[in-house]
A and B are shown apart, each in its own frame.
Chain A
Amino acid sequence: MIAKTVCKLCLTCLFALPVSNMAAEADFAGRWMVSLQDQKRTLVGLLELERSEDGWTAYLEGGPAQVEIDGNHIVVIADSRDVRGFVFDRKLVGLLENDAMSGTYQQVGSAAQKEAPGPWHAEREVVVAAVDTTPKPVDITGMWTATQELDFRKYTMALTPAGKEWLENYLPYYDQPDVRCTSIGLPAIATYSFPFEIIGSENRLTMIYEYSSKVRRIWLDGRQANKFMPPSRMGHSNGRWEGSTLIIDTTLLDKTVRDFRGELISENARIEERYSLSEDGNTLSAVLTVFDPDNYARPPVRRRRWVRKADTEIFPYTCDPDSFYLTMYEDGEMDMYIERTDQRF
């Protein structure tokens, strides 16, 4: 009798629990804007939660993250890489209530940039379709200093088999363009913490970046690149105003690597940047998306915010690769470097 009752109970649990869990968990599915407040920084990112047959999958800024969901409890673990190149995890533990998530996060693993545990929250992404797409350009010219409002600097991204193969053969440092004074270019340069200047002309905007002293032109007249123009790390950029948002599409990109804020770029890649200005005209925000199906199963997303400051200066960036080659020579790595010439771009 007792055994029968227990069995009945078990069966009830077996059928009832997953159903009730599923009902509650289903609320997590969707696109969420997550933000967390470090002592000095505000990190913002898009968290996509999807339900599959095996459970839940999560992507932060287009990169896979670990997720565990139980009832209205959620744990997300996403890796990141700090400015010195150390990879660590952020663990976000929280609750879903009233269609919003909130909780606490902590850094897991060693990093140069120590983050104190703090709060995080997430709201569903609101996509406001522009009611009026009539161009209403705003003045974004000037000198811009990066703030500490940026994306999560997600490290592991959703690479395609081709992207993974590249990563397996990639040798950090030796294959990185910056170390031999060749700019890594877009997308890294557009979201680095170095200041930049925007100059306006009749048919274009010109961006001058402190990092690598690089210059790019954003054509506003819809022109196509000269058919003989070779691909470059800054590519060919066309800009258009949708309302007061500047949307820049960049193609004709030269291949580059995924290292130090760079993303793996094939020659078929397209980068979209969306720039918007605050109402007071003093804060500029950018969301950058890399569309490169050759290398990414999901597009990586990066964000940055800048402020106008009267004292912003752009320093010269001269670069001499001598110390790179000298050290390599001293370490006896010169032969290895030369043998890898074909691997670098």
Chain B
Amino acid sequence: MRQAGYIDRARFAAPLLLAMTFCIFLTRPALSHHSFTAEFTAEKTATLTGTVTQVWFRNPHVRYLFAVTNAEGDEEIWDARGSPVVWLARKGWTKTSIKVGDVVEIYGFLGRDGRKMLSIMTVTLEDGTVFVDRVPE
């Protein structure tokens, strides 16, 4: 019986090893989905309106967190990423342009895999001011 059990385990070992190898290989692409370049999708854009909850106006990337009420009436925090400060500042988009508490409409590329992220194209303030994030090549 002990012998049979041993053989059974051996029979399972190969497929298990194969499955584990697959898992290892599958982990890599899963990780790379979290990369910045792979975090956003060029195929999908969105325009979301919400209230700014946090401003990070520093290099390497500008970041705004803003609260958006979804279709179910629940509040979601979205993470909007912008270009390096130098490009934005050059065009008059500074640290004080968009403040905590401002209601903003942000248009950008959506995060992949349902991540609540936007790669900023434009930010529109309530008074109609539009900030364009278009870094030259």
| Residues in chain A within 8 A of chain B (CB atoms) | 41, 82-86, 88, 109-113, 146, 148, 150, 153, 171-174, 176, 178-179, 181, 193-194, 210-211, 259, 315-324, 327, 331, 333, 336
Contact = CB atoms under 8 A, between A and B. Distances in A.
B99 interface: no
Contacts of A83: 135-137
Q: How large is the interface on B (under 10, 10 to 19, 20 to 34, 35 or more residues)?
A: 20 to 34
A173 B136 contact: no
B109 A179 contact: no
B42 A86 contact: yes
Q: Which DSSP category, helix, strand, loop or mixed, fits chain B's interface? A: mixed
Name which of A82, A173, A176, A324 has the most chain B CB atoms within 10 A of its CB. Answer: A173
A174 B89 CA distance: 26
Given A153-B137, A172-B37, A193-B136, A320 B58 contact: yes
Contacts of A109: 42
A311 B17 CA distance: 64
B59 A173 contact: no
B34 A333 contact: yes
B86 interface: yes
B39 to A, nearest CB: 7
Interface in B25-62: 31-32, 34-43, 56, 58-61
A322 B59 CA distance: 10
A193 B59 contact: no
A173 B137 contact: no
Given A88-B42, A171-B32, A193 B58 contact: no
A82 B63 CA distance: 20
B90 interface: yes
14 contacts: A83-B137, A113-B137, A153-B137, A172-B37, A173-B34, A179-B60, A193-B135, A315-B86, A317-B59, A317-B84, A319-B60, A320-B58, A323-B58, A323-B63
B137 A319 contact: no
B38 A172 contact: yes
A112 B43 CA distance: 9
Contacts, number: 93
Interface in B76-119: 79, 84-86, 89-90, 109, 119
Q: Which DSSP category, helix, strand, loop or mixed, fits chain A's interface? A: loop
A174 B63 contact: no
B40 A84 contact: yes
Contacts of A321: 60
Given A110-B42, A172-B37, A179-B36, A318 B135 contact: no
A192 to B, nearest CB: 9
A331 B58 CA distance: 20
B32 A172 contact: yes
Name which of A146, A153, A172 has the most chain B CB atoms within 10 A of its CB. Answer: A172
Interface in B110-137: 119, 121, 135-137
Contacts of B85: 315, 317-318
A324 B34 CA distance: 12
Name which of B41, B89, B109, B135 has the most chain A CB atoms within 10 A of its CB. Answer: B135
B10 to A, nearest CB: 32
B54 to A, nearest CB: 10
B137 A324 contact: no
B42 A41 contact: no
A85 B60 contact: no
Contacts of B136: 83, 146, 148, 193
A206 to B, nearest CB: 20
Contacts of A82: 137
Contacts of A86: 37, 40, 42
Given A85-B38, A179-B61, A336-B31, 5 more contacts: A109-B42, A112-B121, A171-B35, A173-B35, A315-B89
A98 B119 CA distance: 46
Contact of B60 (A178, A259, A333, A336): A178
Contacts of B84: 211, 317
Nearest to A324: B60
A181 B60 contact: yes
Given A172-B32, A174-B34, A333-B34, A323 B61 contact: yes
A338 to B, nearest CB: 14
A315 B87 CA distance: 9
Contact of B119 (A84, A110, A148): A84
Given A111-B42, A112-B109, A319 B34 contact: no
